Chain A
């Protein structure tokens, strides 16, 4: 059985795309082969910077012949029906067979597909694969129309068995498949002719190409750690970087280089980020954990043992770090002087054109953080100061250069400005949590600023009606809401979100008006300038009208800003329900049922998320017990009977149940049980001990069941009936203490 070797040789493939591309090649080709009726024993795909390769072993030499019979129209059916059937089956009308059926003579099509040679199938499959390859981004080149990740130069497509190797005849956009490839761009000259996969891999190695990415990665890591170890150093592990670097070289050569002493005073994150982002260097630390050297991986061997390459890399690093040092030192000067210029320049940076500048936003966050502070146990002044400087580093040169260092640099700069550790920490931590698995800050000042930041973002975008829709969430508002939820829950903060949302909304809306006002002023200025130079009277008149309209709007805006205005926008309830939706997703991941959450959201105080979740957890735990499950049945039964009676009678049975009208033991027992439950539930509710309250309710299950078993609620005696309905009402009000059980499924 033959083996198949495919190589697609191109100009350099981006490192980050190689892994998926080799997997795609394997899947598309092998799926195609199997679909066409071939089988194979095993397949493996590989990538280097310049090639994708696929080896398929023990491929069947021809596909199975197939025979299919299809039943068609009756003989005598309209010609159109017959010819349509034949066309659909891919058979000539003349070749249709006539067979006797139960109802008469019927046409049959016999579709016979002979086995096809593997080569023919491979050619088709590879052509289709290349033309439809799922590159994240692909391109055209020259005057051709084929698309590939970078220009495709040659194709190996080779079937080989004991008898020898044969090229599969194939041509794609002017490229003929062959048996030749190229080795290393610099360390090998001339084409390499191969006879099969083993030969291919071996000859590539001779030509200075390691075909297997994991082999290259292992070599790099092995050599890097060995060289570092020999000097008493340790390479900082970075699997992402290792995979990337392995995709940048066909012949890895590890070189260990020194970082000039001038730069060792830079924050380690800056060193590491600069080296990794710009140069793809690994950081190497000494025993004290300080980054002192780097590892670079060259793609070639040189006669001087890499000395020129290393010197060059060191020089580049020197320049890069000079830049970083320049930024750091400039930034430190500003930081030590209190960061005022940065804070001012936030006023030149628009946050959103309808929501004002970053400075406006910072002012809103300061006000909100101050109010949140006492609630989360932070000092109000400290929280306000932390909010004031939290975004300062956005104006710094380092963050301009390395946006991923935002926050972290803020922490360094706040410290250098002489601010407290709590404020410095908040500068870094107030962005957190960024994702569902990101750590949540716990320091009170950080929590206050982080909450203020996110609540402001949410109310701001809600105020200008930029809510997330479907899969679109350009301002990451879902993430912000989840951040608030996690900050509150994981720190067990007790706060009524609605209060803070109302405050945040007010300042957001003020800034929306101010921003519009600034825009109106700017537009008036521009139009007046234009009108001054306008010679066409018609246009001038139109401009005049526009200016007049803008001036009217200005007056209107002034009135709105000046007057006391009630905000009845529905923003807060809408935003709260957005929070609740996010909370459902969050709790669902923790195994809390949807209906459980709904039942708790229906309770008062649902903007206190910690309280809400306490209810939900207690309810969920109860529902997981038999008693809980049955309690729901009992409760629902009571509630249904009661609701029907209330509807029918047009009254509500709310109080007045009296044990003296009880006629039945089960009835009396229920009174007692309810009294006992109330004795437990009341203090438990006051202590927000929902677990105990729910457990006490679950205890009612037995008495309720017994009641329904032994007692007819709708008794003939009206007094007895009314008393029983009032008793059901007691069940209802007791059971609704923790959550709205009517919303529980089942």
Chain B
């Protein structure tokens, strides 16, 4: 068994090399604010169509409502997810997954690892799948999902998606009680840094901004703008008048959907969205992702005949 990682980044590196060794393309984070690794187009869009796909990546994720000013031992408004997506889902995906736990030092002969029902649904992505949350000694360490539908499209073949909540997993492996105390780099480094050294201050700053300062009028406007731009992009004719090529702009449109989704999360954190409005907003974001998915399946990456 590999040596147990001693730091947060050690765990990330161990996952990266494990999944690289299993044949995944190790991608980099998507350069936009997202609520979860699933929003990365490498998952949302690539789960569509018939082309095989295997990717793994870290995705910084933001959940404004979860901000606790860096005080809660394990709640953060900004955190990292590790995401693995393989299409079609291989028959030994559970075993592969358990191998990844071993790679980061979770020894199945000492721990209680369980697959507990958790049907995954993302109303904003118009997506759902069946699977489990994986428990290690009662702690949810990952989400394990077989995608059945994304953006309103049935998934054929089915993608297997693994999502690790990195902070929580790492705290457990490293036996740390408070996320801010967790070693970010190797504690033996010349300049040892904790998670708190890196993120404590930003958690405070963002918690204040998310909850009390973010200008709701501006955000509402951003939402409308992203929505309008998404629709405008997808309204363009498929053939680019300049190059004469067929270029369906699924990704730029999808960026706008991501933007709208994040703005919606911010508005939610500001407490200005009521229960019924929530449904309406979610429906609007879903309409965007659905339109982007419709566009993506018309592209070569989406399995359309070139």
Contact = CB atoms under 8 A, between A and B. Distances in A.
B119 A312 contact: no
Interface in A327-368: 345, 348-353, 357
Query: Contact residue range for chain B?
Result: 35 or more
A90 B273 CA distance: 67
Contact of B112 (A151, A309, A351): A309
B138 A303 contact: no
Given A139-B130, A151-B91, A348-B272, A313 B110 contact: no
A315 B137 CA distance: 9
Nearest to B119: A137
B110 A319 contact: no
A10 to B, nearest CB: 11
A350 B129 CA distance: 30
A225 interface: no
A625 to B, nearest CB: 55
Query: Contact residue range for chain A?
Result: 35 or more
B139 A315 contact: yes
Contacts of B148: 139-140
B271 interface: yes
B109 A186 contact: yes
A711 interface: no
A302 interface: yes
B146 interface: yes
Contacts of B157: 142-144
B218 interface: no
A248 B114 contact: yes
B117 A350 contact: no
Contact of A349 (B72, B132, B274): B274
B22 interface: no
Contacts of B90: 142
A299 B117 contact: no
Given A317-B138, A349-B274, A304 B74 contact: no
Contact of B73 (A16, A143, A309, A322): A322
A142 B158 contact: yes
Contact of A353 (B113, B271, B276): B276
A655 interface: no
Contacts of A315: 137, 139, 172, 177
B12 to A, nearest CB: 21
Contacts of B117: 12, 14-16
A394 to B, nearest CB: 10
B130 A312 contact: no
B158 A302 contact: no
Contacts, number: 124
B94 interface: yes
Interface in A185-231: 186
B179 to A, nearest CB: 10
Nearest to B130: A139
B111 interface: yes
B100 interface: no
Contact of B274 (A16, A300, A311, A357): A357
B138 A141 contact: no
A352 B271 CA distance: 17
B217 to A, nearest CB: 11
A311 B116 CA distance: 20
Contacts of B274: 348-350, 357
Nearest to A142: B88
B206 to A, nearest CB: 18
B138 A312 contact: yes
Nearest to A149: B130
Given A151-B91, A349-B275, A309 B111 contact: yes
Nearest to A255: B112
B198 interface: no
A248 B132 CA distance: 12
Given A143-B157, A248-B116, A304 B271 contact: no
A309 B109 CA distance: 10
A308 interface: yes
Given A14-B117, A323-B72, A350-B274, A302 B110 contact: yes
B111 A312 contact: yes
Contacts of A149: 130
Interface string B67-96: 010001111000000000000111100100
Contacts of B94: 11
Interface in B157-180: 157-158, 160, 172, 177
A150 B137 contact: no
Given A313-B137, A316-B139, A322-B72, A139 B275 contact: no
Contacts of B146: 139-141, 150-151
Interface string A554-582: 00000000000000000000000000000
Interface in B11-42: none
A143 B138 CA distance: 32
A144 B91 CA distance: 11
* Residue among B90, B108, B117, B155 with max Cβ neighbours from chain A (10 Å): B117
B139 to A, nearest CB: 5
A723 interface: no
A153 interface: yes
Contacts of B136: 312
Given A139-B158, A143-B157, A300-B112, A350 B89 contact: no
A639 B88 CA distance: 80
A308 B277 CA distance: 46
Contacts of B72: 322-323, 326
B115 interface: yes
Contacts of A186: 108-109, 113
Nearest to B131: A150
A319 B130 contact: no
Nearest to A50: B115
12 contacts: A11-B94, A16-B117, A142-B88, A144-B157, A151-B89, A151-B91, A304-B110, A308-B111, A315-B177, A322-B72, A323-B75, A345-B271
* A-B pairs with lowest CB-CB distance, top 6: A312-B137, A350-B274, A14-B117, A12-B115, A143-B157, A313-B138
